[in-house]
Structure 1
Amino acid sequence: MRSYSEIARRIAKIIISPESAIGFVHGILSVPKDIGYLAYGFLDTDNRYQRETEKIRMVRAVRYGILENHNFMKTIETVLNIFNKKLPESRLNAIYSKTMASVAGRTLTNSLIAGRLATTIAQRSSFLVAVRGGLVGNALLIGGMAERCIYTSEKLLKNNPEVYNTLRPQNYDLLYFLVEPALNPFVEALNVRRTQGQPAFDKILELVEKEINTNAR
């Protein structure tokens, strides 16, 4: 796990400028990474039946439009909702006031950030062009990208059951590997809260506030 300061720095960067997430998503269509997951999946014979079951779920989800842009937004918004619900109101206001002073309430804040992140990931990267052309939809059902999708979902279940169980009913956990680079610092902070307690989480929030105060002027 990254240091508190590194987690805080990345959270602050996303809050200040969601468009900066483009720097985190270039590896989404990483062929070497997919080949690595494909090889790992081939060797992981113990869990082959479970992965095949997950692939069937993936096929159904793709068929019913899971790759539509609004689902990316809902996936991002769901994770941000979980994160922001852990923040005291005073801390929430302190963190977001410098970047979204006119926004009142958690829901609108989450929607704005989620919308900007989804736009960045879904419209400004080469990944989205591929989705619209059907390339990713096809690749998702076969090969290393399918394995990466499943293993990332399983890792999320292991590391943060709350996030996984909230995403799972709508199959958003299958999209998580596509937005993980941008959402990872928020999930890491939640993992710190789960494993090390509220004081450790509060320390990260304090550092986030300091980063924003320094960089959002």
Structure 2
Amino acid sequence: MNSETGIAEELYYTINGETPGVVSGFIEGILEIPEDIGYIAYDFIDSENRYNNNNDKIRLMFLVKKGGVNKDSLAEIIKVILIKYYSLLTNEQKSQLQYKIGGQITGKLVFTTQALSKFLQIFIDRLLIRTSVGLISTSLVTLGAMQSKAVYSSRDLLNRNPNIYWELRGLGDLDLLYFILEDKLKSFEDAILLHDKDRSAFNNVMKHYADLVHGEKNA
């Protein structure tokens, strides 16, 4: 996990869509050749988890077959993570979650469901604007490495944060699609884990975030 300052910076740039890769397309980073080979090799030698891996791959194929790999499913994953993160904030911290519209910091979350829904939609649109769900579905069927990555990413999420894992799984095995958005949601997940581990450190993250917002508004 990154430092408090690092998590705050990642949150700030992810929320405002400035970090390279935040709105990257599917082809631009989900699998690279070395990682591709690595997942195939590890899956092959991981005899201890072969039974569980096969069961998870069956879950994945059913998910693909019933058309569950779509932008609505990915949007649900984003909502689960962001709503969980938002629920941990104090009212003061929520008021600091300002975000950019058209290059200017004009959006500000207030304590209403409508404001949260608007923020979620803006963030979902940013992450999914260039995502090819058709290519994802095809790759999950044809690429063994893609299936392995889906399974191991799900398993890692279960070990890191079982609450999020079971919530996503209960929404129709969406835990198996988490790998698609994992890098883009990492800062929120880090903050959630930090809150559970060290509330004071979590509060420091939000102070650093507020400083970044304040600094840009006065730049």
- Aligned counterpart, 1:121: 127
After superposition, the Cα gap between the structure-2 partners of 1:65 and 1:104, relative to the gap in structure 1 and judged at 3 Å, is: farther
Asked if 1:58 is matched to 2:60, the reply is yes
SS at match of 2:44: helix
Cα RMSD (Å) of the superposition?
2.3
Contact 1:37 1:148 in 2 (8 A): yes
Deviations 1:77-105 (A, max 9, x none): 1100000100011210122375423x543
SS at match of 1:2: coil
Contact 1:77 1:114 in 2 (8 A): yes
- Aligned counterpart, 2:117: 111
**Percent of residue pairs bearing the same amino acid type:** 27
Between structures 1 and 2, the one with greater strand share = 2
Asked if 1:69 is matched to 2:61, the reply is no
Asked if 1:214 is matched to 2:218, the reply is no
- Aligned counterpart, 1:147: 148
Deviations 1:127-173 (A, max 9, x none): x33x33xx321321340111111111111111112221221101221
2:11 corresponds to which letter in structure 1?
I
Instruction: Give 4+ residue runs of structure 1 displaced > 4 Å after superposition.
Output: none
SS at match of 1:41: helix
User: 2-side partners of 1:9 and 1:55: how far apart?
Assistant: 36
**Equivalent position to 1:90, from 78, 85, 92:** 92
User: 2-side partners of 1:48 and 1:80: how far apart?
Assistant: 33
Contact 2:23 2:129 in 1 (8 A): no
Following superposition of structure 1 onto structure 2, how do residues 125-140 of structure 1 map, counting pairs within 5 Å? 128-129=131-132, 131-132=133-134, 135-140=135-140
Deviation at 1:49, TM superposition (A): 0.3
- Number of equivalenced pairs: 209
Between structures 1 and 2, the one with greater helix share = 1
Contact 2:15 2:123 in 1 (8 A): no
What TM-score results when the alignment is normalised by the length of structure 2? 0.85
User: 1-side partners of 2:117 and 2:179: how far apart?
Assistant: 20
Q: Which runs of 5+ in 1 are unaligned?
A: none
Higher mean displacement: 48-57 or 114-123: 114-123
Contact 1:149 1:174 in 2 (8 A): yes
Deviations 1:54-88 (A, max 9, x none): 01111111122222111111110110000010001
1:187 corresponds to which letter in structure 2?
E
2:47 corresponds to which letter in structure 1?
T
User: 1-side partners of 2:23 and 2:82: how far apart?
Assistant: 18
Deviation at 1:19, TM superposition (A): 8.3
Contact 2:8 2:206 in 1 (8 A): yes
User: 2-side partners of 1:88 and 1:24: how far apart?
Assistant: 34
- Aligned counterpart, 1:158: 159
After superposition, the Cα gap between the structure-2 partners of 1:80 and 1:138, relative to the gap in structure 1 and judged at 3 Å, is: same
Q: Which runs of 5+ in 2 are unaligned?
A: 100-104
Higher mean displacement: 65-74 or 113-122: 113-122
1:65 corresponds to which letter in structure 2?
G
- Aligned counterpart, 1:49: 51
